[in-house]
Amino acid sequence: MTRKILGSLALAFVLSATSILMRPAAAHEYEHGDLMIMHPVARASMGVAANSAVYMTIENAGEHDRLIGVSTDVAERVEIHTTIMEDGVLKMQELEEGIAVPASDKAMLETGGYHVMLMGLAEPLQVDDSFTLTLDFEKAGPIEVEVIVVHPEELGDAMHMEGHD
Ligand SMILES: [Cu+2]
């Protein structure tokens, strides 16, 4: 009996060790019809900041599509933003019409450009955490992706460097 319990404990240990190894690697991607969602990452929270942004590249091997909606449980509100330069100052602007993913081309969500804005985070985002984000495309429909939280330095983030060493 004892041996059997030890055996299942050992198995449980092996399984949990496996699930640690199965964590999303440094680069991860999702195939969604003709679309490839490449390496979705979010900026880790610095201090008590209640907002963050998600970046990724969306490759399109098919016809023109459009990212029209994004949702997640980790923030109160999620918006699709672009960054514009106005009077020498970088400003973020909501894109009500979403982001075009041109045919046989790609859309890049990156610092200083398009991004998914997370507003009113339930909890600060810690480096190496991950969370589920649902992307909704006009033609391809919805897909869930796992977003990995990374340090701002990994993003080459010029806009949000305030408040960190
Ligand atoms: Cu924004």
- For ligand 1, the distance from its centroid to the CA atom of residue 93, given in whole angstroms, is 7
Give percent above pLDDT 70 in the chain.
79
Round to whole Å and give the CA distance between 78 and 115: 10
Least Cα distance to 143 among 43, 22, 34 occurs for 34
Tokens of 19: 């699930």
- For ligand 1, the distance from its centroid to the CA atom of residue 58, given in whole angstroms, is 18
- For ligand 1, the distance from its centroid to the CA atom of residue 52, given in whole angstroms, is 8
- For ligand 1, the distance from its centroid to the CA atom of residue 121, given in whole angstroms, is 13
- For ligand 1, the distance from its centroid to the CA atom of residue 137, given in whole angstroms, is 20
- For ligand 1, the distance from its centroid to the CA atom of residue 83, given in whole angstroms, is 7
- For ligand 1, the distance from its centroid to the CA atom of residue 19, given in whole angstroms, is 33
Least Cα distance to 59 among 34, 23, 83 occurs for 34
Least Cα distance to 150 among 2, 26, 11 occurs for 26
b/e per residue, 79-90, with b = 16+ CB within 10 A?
A: bbbebeeeeeee
Question: Average pLDDT in the 35-57 region?
Answer: 93
All domains of the chain, ordered by start, with CATH? 26-155 (2.60.40.1890)
pLDDT higher at 123 or 13: 123
Burial status of residue 18 (CB atoms within 10 A of its CB: 0-12, 13-18, 19 or more): exposed
Listing DSSP states for 44-77 in one string gives PP-TT--EEEEEEEEEESSS-EEEEEEEESSEEE
- For ligand 1, the distance from its centroid to the CA atom of residue 51, given in whole angstroms, is 9
- For ligand 1, the distance from its centroid to the CA atom of residue 82, given in whole angstroms, is 7
Q: What is the pLDDT of residue 47?
A: 79
Contact 145, 132 (CB under 8 A): yes
Tokens of 29: 């991607």
> How is residue 87 annotated by DSSP?
T
pLDDT exceeds 50 at position 22: no
* Most distant pair of Cα atoms in the chain: their distance: 75
Question: Average pLDDT in the 46-74 region?
Answer: 94
pLDDT by residue (tens digit) across 113-145? 999 999 999 999 999 999 999 999 999 999 999
pLDDT by residue (tens digit) across 94-110? 999 999 999 999 999 99
- Within 10 Å of residue 68's Cβ, how many Cβ atoms? 17
